[in-house]
Amino acid sequence: MSELPQIIAGNWKMNMTLTQGRKFIDTLASGLVGKKLARKLLLAPNFTLLSGLVQGCADIGIGLLAQNCAFQDAGAFTGETSVAMLKDVGVGYVLVGHSERRQLFGESDDLLRRKAQAVSGGGLVPIFCVGETLDQRQGGEAFEIVTKQLRSGLDGFPGEKLIIAYEPVWAIGTGQTATAEDARSMHVHIRKFLEVQFPWGEMVPILYGGSAKPENATELLAQPEVNGLLVGGASLDPESFLQIALA
């Protein structure tokens, strides 16, 4: 079993203005005064907030995570954002294949592989998201689906810096969290996959996401191979994000 430093990553999705984001960081900074934080914190604000929040985040040791990127380097791709652009404003991590990107924006396994490779090739760390739908879980296919997503998404992955987020789709934004046992068994499964696939597979943090909140953070974080949390709704409130960070 790997003992990796835990990571708490907040995903703001399409929420927060720059003014609200700055207020959040100020509140979080005050809340962190005098606290010993054993975990690494990351925040994923919208693109328009990244350069405005980079300094405030750096001042309190929070890493900046982008919610998405293009795989192309540059060119005529209206509305897209390259890895180099993200790196230039101080982003260190990029979410790849969040289920909302897969489901609402039709991002395919093939596209996500290219994005993961572009992020890694550009010197940033992808947080590659996987997870089954409710139908797939009820049909007994959860492990198979997650394996398929990992296999196709990480085929030919060029780097050694990688984070995985296991987010069962049925638990995202629904208030319905996976049980600690569901999370544990899938994380152990993912760890085995990574160890077979990569010589450095034991070093990859595996985060759980899906209605993570202060009430369930301690139990989830105590599970073997749960190396942190990817938090959506509960990351919009600095108090609850802080409670999770300190759980």
- Residue 98 is among the residues annotated as catalytic for this protein: yes
Binding residue for ligand PGA, selected from 21, 126, 228, 233, defined by CB under 6 A: 233
Of residues 129, 124, 115, the one with CA closest to residue 73: 115
Q: Which of residues 121-180 bind ligand PGA (CB under 6 A)?
A: 167, 172-173
Binding residue for ligand PGA, selected from 82, 211, 223, 240, defined by CB under 6 A: 211
Q: Which of residues 2-61 bind ligand PGA (CB under 6 A)?
A: 11
Shortest Cβ 130–ligand PGA spacing (Å): 12
Q: Which is nearer to ligand PGA, 11 or 81 (CB)?
A: 11
Q: Does 221 bind ligand PGA (CB under 6 A)?
A: no
Contact string 85-104 vs ligand PGA (x = CB under 6 A):
--------------------
Q: Which is nearer to ligand PGA, 204 or 234 (CB)?
A: 234
Helix/strand/coil (H/E/C) assignment for every residue in the chain: CCCCCCEEEEECCCCCCHHHHHHHHHHHHHHHCCCCCCCEEEEECCHHHHHHHHHHHHHCCCEEEECCCCCCCCCCCCCCCCHHHHHHCCCCEEEECCHHHHHHCCCCHHHHHHHHHHHHHCCCEEEEEECCCHHHHHCCCHHHHHHHHHHHHCCCCCCCCCEEEECCHHHCCCCCCCCHHHHHHHHHHHHHHHHHHCCCHHHCCEEEECCCCHHHHHHHHCCCCCCEEEECHHHCCHHHHHHHHHC
Q: Which is nearer to ligand PGA, 24 or 198 (CB)?
A: 24
Q: Does 206 bind ligand PGA (CB under 6 A)?
A: no
Q: Does 209 bind ligand PGA (CB under 6 A)?
A: yes
The span of 53-61, 149-157, 189-197, 209-217 binding ligand PGA (CB under 6 A) equals 209-217
- Residue 189 is among the residues annotated as catalytic for this protein: no
d(CA 133, CA 210): 12
Q: Does 244 bind ligand PGA (CB under 6 A)?
A: no
Q: Which residues are catalytic?
A: 98, 167
Interaction site with ligand PGA (CB under 6 A): 11, 167, 172-173, 209-212, 230-234
